Amino acid sequence: MKNILLILAITFSSASFAQGNLQFNQVLILDATPAGNAVTVPAGKVWKIESVALSSNNAYFQIKWGGTSYFVLNNSSPYANLPFWLPSNESVSLIGNVNAKVSIIEFNVVP
């Protein structure tokens, strides 16, 4: 009986700390434009791009990171590469061939 209680205690304690290092901070809505919107994830934060609203059916959304463009969403494709995580202190450009709204959840990194 003691072994079963010990196993249950370890299971529940490890499950409760599985994501204990991220804390919800705020929701951000950023613009993606054809010219690109350069943004930097603040220190001590991480961003999770949840969704993108495009203003046209023949549109795409990409992230330019480290000089390389990565297509995240294309309306002519049946899938999207979302969610997309961005780490602390990263500078990226949010680009769309039309105007777009990017929905981001910002988390605090808790030590």
What is the domain range of residue 31? 22-109
CATH number for position 42 = 2.60.120.340
Within 8 A by CB and 6+ apart from 60, the residues are: 54, 71, 73, 74, 75, 96, 97
Q: What is the pTM of this model?
A: 0.76
Q: Is residue 27 part of a domain?
A: yes
Full pLDDT tens readout for the chain, 111 residues: 554 444 444 444 444 444 449 999 999 999 999 999 999 999 999 999 999 998 888 888 999 998 899 988 887 676 788 999 999 999 999 998 988 999 999 999 998
For the chain, the domain total comes to 1
List phi, psi (to 5°) of 8: -65, -40
Return the H-helix or E-strand segment holding 53. Answer: strand 45-54
Q: What amino acid is encoded at 68 in this protein?
A: T
Q: Of 30, 20, 44, nearest to 94 (Cα)? A: 30
d(CA 42, CA 109): 11
